[in-house]
Structure 1
Amino acid sequence: MFRPKLLFTSLAAFALGACSPQDQQAQTSAALAQQVILPTYSRWVEADRQLAQSALAFCSGKVDLAQARADFYAAQKAWAELQPLMVGPLAEGNQAWRVQFWPDKKNLVARQVEQLVKSQPQIDASALEKSSVVVQGLTAYEYILFDSQIDLADSATKLRYCPLLEAIGERQQHLAEDILARWNNKDGMLEQLSKFPNPRYADAHEAIAELLRVQVTAIDTLKKKLGTPLGRLSKGIPQPLQAEAWRSEASLSNIAAGLASAEALWSGVDNHGIRGLLGAEQKELATRIDAAYAEARQKLAAIKPPLSELLASEAGRQQVGDFYDSLNRVHRLQESDLAKALGVQLGFNANDGD
């Protein structure tokens, strides 16, 4: 595999100890794992612990629906931030489906939740683990808290859904804690992204390549999450009910969280991100990617949610479409130019064939 010689400015050379490209990639991988990725996983665990406590508190009448929804928003945001950083155990064994089921093209979440509360009215977390992934995660939790057909102010309705709500909260907490523990274990992902060679990566270049693949795939997924409801993937026909988190109207805020997390992998802390691997002769590419991220952030910040209202007007669709195009520029620059500059073969995209 072709690996270009990386040249560095005196500042970067000083910061990274004037080491070889391979050493530099090892330091970058370790820095990203310790300073960007692991803290995001830790925030996800804390948000899910709070979600589990929130479900219990709501169902026992200690907090109201507004607080339960706020805790859900926090858990959903933590999950959105994690998706551009999904390497290791969370990316294996369909674990991500257990956190969030999307896209839900056939309204499976509503149908399967209703079937489950009818067939197993007192379900708990251990039984839920054996159930369909469709009902185990945040999308099912969102359905219970936000669907217009569910009146949680009615005590009988609340009593009907609360066992499942509590089971999902506990299930998500246990899943997140297990993933974080596997990250921190001996020979876990933190160590594998920090010391080379290891059973997962023959060298640091392989680790950087996987981080870039995950980031590029995540940005492509953000495009899909926007493009599907916008109609870019359905012959120009908007499909607002195919948006992620349409019931909670958090589609755009989730995309903002994911975009910020992808940019964190690019920038790193103190320039110890993927950007720092570009040499002086690649400064122009780094500047173009910086500008693409900035443009996407600015266009998203100018959009006033909810997405469903924007999709209902020509002006709103145009504004969302402009943001989609800016997101596409971020994706293409990293998928093509950046990958080439770093000598990375991206290969199969997890979204291919969707």
Structure 2
Amino acid sequence: MVLAFLALSVNAVAADLPPEPLSHAGMVKAAIEQYIVPHIDALKAAAKPLPDAVAEVCKTGSAEAKRALEDRFEKVVIAYAGVDFLRFGPMLEKGRREQISFWPDPRGFVSRQMRLLLLSKDEGIANPGAIGKQSAAVQGLPALEALMHDKDVPLGPDDAAHYRCIVAGAIAANIVRLTAEVADEWEKPDGWADKMLHPGPQNDTYKNESEAAVEVVKALIVGLGLTADLQVKPQIDSKVRLAPPYDKSGLQKVFYATSVASLHQFYDVLDLESWLPPDRLWMKDWVLGTWRTIEASDGVGGRSPNAKRDDAPTLREVFDRTNGLRNMVANRLSVSAQLTVGFNELDGD
């Protein structure tokens, strides 16, 4: 009876203890296995049918083919929005991120470089790898979007669109190549996932588990900065001249919603809150309220259909809350997790 009572007492005490925080190694493993690799694979899969969709439009010019291409393009943009903030490793190497999605583009490089490319009429652009030697501005999704939505010379079987179709096909194939490269560089033996999961003295990038954990936390901070500074701020600050992402396709709201939902998922996977001491547990409620606010917005000043609050937050509130969450992660949650993320290039007001 005494032993049974002691066992019950120990179990009761254990039940009252807070859960162990996710270790730095566990944080990295969770980030890679639960988020990064699945989303990179989703981008690769979404991009694969793109060349055939372009080819069908150029062959028939039918409304059905055009709708199919728009649908396929939207799926790729949505998948890309889920990994846009992973600006390290394979995305950073060889400028793949800019090649897949050259945005922001405040100086209009996409339109300028596309105009030069179309004037060249060089059909060698269809050769494997040829488009990859051009400016990053004409290699990816924004360049393809520009061709898809050119009302003067729409893609189709007409002679006037012949060279544009060649370029569009080359861009679509290039997007497939780039997304496949990113996936392969993450997942191959001794690839980036292995590099992050096995830090040590011989590792040329991550010497310990904490350095790898800092990398994924910085990605979250960068993502919050991208949403606040590039998607929301231009709408509330007239001094910031920046077209919204994929507005020609009407995908600004979708891009915003996917960006925010993806960052929320990544935040949950990292489980930084498990490191909070008892006197800072209030931060959980603040963070929860912040996610509800930024997810209640449609990204352009209206209310999201999936909002968990009755009203639409103003864009100023969304900007301030997103920035507040960025600072919370960088200066409080990461500190509680014994990680030093330091400044990054996206820290703003």
Q: TM-score range by the shorter chain?
A: 0.7 to 0.9
- SS of match in other structure, 1:248: coil
How many Å apart are 1:277 and its aligned residue? 4.1
Q: Distance in 1 between matches of 2:275 and 2:88?
A: 20
| 1:174 maps onto 2:177 in alignment | yes
- Matches of residues 82-231 of structure 1 in structure 2 within 5 Å? 82-122=83-123, 123-124=125-126, 125-152=128-155, 155-197=158-200, 198-231=203-236
- SS of match in other structure, 1:67: helix
What do residues 168-209 of structure 1 show as CA deviations (whole Å, max 9, x unaligned)? 111111111111111112221222232333432122111111
Q: Distance in 2 between matches of 1:229 and 1:301?
A: 11
Amino acid in the other structure paired with 2:87: M
Q: What is aligned with 1:330?
A: 325
Q: Distance in 2 between matches of 1:301 and 1:111?
A: 28
Q: Distance in 2 between matches of 1:326 and 1:280?
A: 24
How many Å apart are 1:289 and its aligned residue? 1.8
Q: What is aligned with 2:281?
A: 283
Distance 1:276 1:145, change over 3 A: farther
Amino acid in the other structure paired with 1:289: V
Deviates more, 1:205-214 or 1:87-96: 87-96
Q: Indicate if the aligned counterparts of 2:81 and 2:255 stay in contact, CA closer than 8 A.
A: yes
How many Å apart are 1:220 and its aligned residue? 0.6
Gaps of 5+ in 2: 1-14, 305-311
- SS of match in other structure, 2:25: helix
Q: Indicate if the aligned counterparts of 2:145 and 2:249 stay in contact, CA closer than 8 A.
A: yes
Q: Indicate if the aligned counterparts of 1:228 and 1:242 stay in contact, CA closer than 8 A.
A: no
Q: How many correspondences in the alignment? A: 321
Q: Indicate if the aligned counterparts of 1:128 and 1:171 stay in contact, CA closer than 8 A.
A: yes
Deviates more, 1:254-263 or 1:280-289: 280-289
How many Å apart are 1:43 and its aligned residue? 0.2
How many Å apart are 1:72 and its aligned residue? 0.7
Q: Distance in 1 between matches of 2:233 and 2:258?
A: 19
Q: Indicate if the aligned counterparts of 2:110 and 2:143 stay in contact, CA closer than 8 A.
A: yes
How many Å apart are 1:213 and its aligned residue? 0.9
Q: Distance in 2 between matches of 1:160 and 1:305?
A: 42
Q: Distance in 2 between matches of 1:276 and 1:55?
A: 47
Q: What is aligned with 1:293?
A: 291
Q: Indicate if the aligned counterparts of 1:48 and 1:172 stay in contact, CA closer than 8 A.
A: yes
How many Å apart are 1:167 and its aligned residue? 0.5
How many Å apart are 1:120 and its aligned residue? 3.5
Distance 1:160 1:302, change over 3 A: closer
Q: TM-score, normalised by structure 2?
A: 0.82
Distance 1:24 1:145, change over 3 A: same
- SS of match in other structure, 2:130: helix
How many Å apart are 1:349 and its aligned residue? 1.9
Q: What is aligned with 2:7?
A: none
What do residues 40-74 of structure 1 show as CA deviations (whole Å, max 9, x unaligned)? 00001011112233222322338511111111111
Q: What is aligned with 1:12?
A: 19
How many Å apart are 1:348 and its aligned residue? 4.0
Q: Indicate if the aligned counterparts of 2:82 and 2:259 stay in contact, CA closer than 8 A.
A: yes
- SS of match in other structure, 2:212: helix
Q: Indicate if the aligned counterparts of 1:222 and 1:258 stay in contact, CA closer than 8 A.
A: yes
Amino acid in the other structure paired with 1:158: A
Deviates more, 1:62-71 or 1:92-101: 62-71
Q: Distance in 2 between matches of 1:9 and 1:226?
A: 43
Q: Distance in 2 between matches of 1:247 and 1:44?
A: 21
Q: Indicate if the aligned counterparts of 1:85 and 1:262 stay in contact, CA closer than 8 A.
A: no
Q: Indicate if the aligned counterparts of 2:85 and 2:226 stay in contact, CA closer than 8 A.
A: no
Q: Distance in 2 between matches of 1:207 and 1:9?
A: 32
| 1:34 maps onto 2:33 in alignment | yes
Q: Indicate if the aligned counterparts of 1:26 and 1:196 stay in contact, CA closer than 8 A.
A: no
Q: Distance in 1 between matches of 2:186 and 2:274?
A: 24
Gaps of 5+ in 1: 1-7, 14-20, 307-315
Q: Distance in 2 between matches of 1:295 and 1:9?
A: 32
Q: Indicate if the aligned counterparts of 2:294 and 2:322 stay in contact, CA closer than 8 A.
A: yes
Amino acid in the other structure paired with 1:40: H
How many Å apart are 1:9 and its aligned residue? 7.2
Q: Distance in 2 between matches of 1:12 and 1:188?
A: 32
Distance 1:49 1:278, change over 3 A: farther
Q: What is aligned with 1:310?
A: none
- Matches of residues 333-348 of structure 1 in structure 2 within 5 Å? 333-348=328-343
Q: Distance in 1 between matches of 2:170 and 2:67?
A: 20
What do residues 188-242 of structure 1 show as CA deviations (whole Å, max 9, x unaligned)? 122223233343212211111111111111211111222453142x44x7x5x62
How many Å apart are 1:26 and its aligned residue? 0.8
Amino acid in the other structure paired with 1:12: P
